[in-house]
Amino acid sequence: MNLLDSILGNDSNQVVAELAKQLGVGENDARTAARQLIPSLARGLQNNAKSDNGLDNLIGALSKGNHSKYLDSPSSLGQSATTQEGNAILGHIFGNKDVSRNIANHGAQKSGLSSMLLKKALPILATLVMSSLSKKFLGGGNKSSGGGIFEGNRNNDIFSSGVSANKNRGLLATFLDADKDGSVIDDLLSMAVKVALR
């Protein structure tokens, strides 16, 4: 199961229903928006994780807070704090609002959905991406949850030692491998992508 599958699930997915509610569209359009934007978010995260420092910072960011709540309780997607957190995540992934804007515009051209709709969806989907990563690799949203499969991070006691960053990077890349438009997305991201999450 990759990132897209973990978030979108099946046709009765409550996350999709809540996303549609927040965007004011039908579930089919909400699903289309997610399928268009999540690969761009995944690509940005992959680029950030190419360096050891970027990978460490991503793991550190995942271990803080309770990211898993967004998939566990989809109703939390409607809270104003969710949008604020999502915008902060977008800033870490893309570097500035211009990249987010271009990602939305590109998605609109590809999907037929409005760029305004996709701009609104981006911060919500950013929180869902972090939620999915948290559940997959850390077993939950914070240090106390444990049970994840990421290993060897020197800054977090939930990881065991002795496993290379390359293994963690490989696990992450496999899970994030959701896009078929990578070169175009890379061009958009190259305008301003931060190397590390902080």
- pLDDT at 48 (0 to 100): 77
Question: Contact, 132 vs 44, CB < 8 A?
Answer: no
- For residues 83 and 170, the model is more confident at 83
- At 22-54, the pLDDT tens digits run 999 999 999 999 999 999 998 888 887 776 677
Question: Contact, 102 vs 184, CB < 8 A?
Answer: no
Contacts of 132 (CB under 8 A, 6+ apart): 3, 6, 7, 71
* CB neighbours of residue 55 within 10 Å: 21
**Residue whose pair of structure tokens reads 């990759």 in the numeric block:** 2
Check the CA dihedral 94-23-125-6 and report its sign.
negative
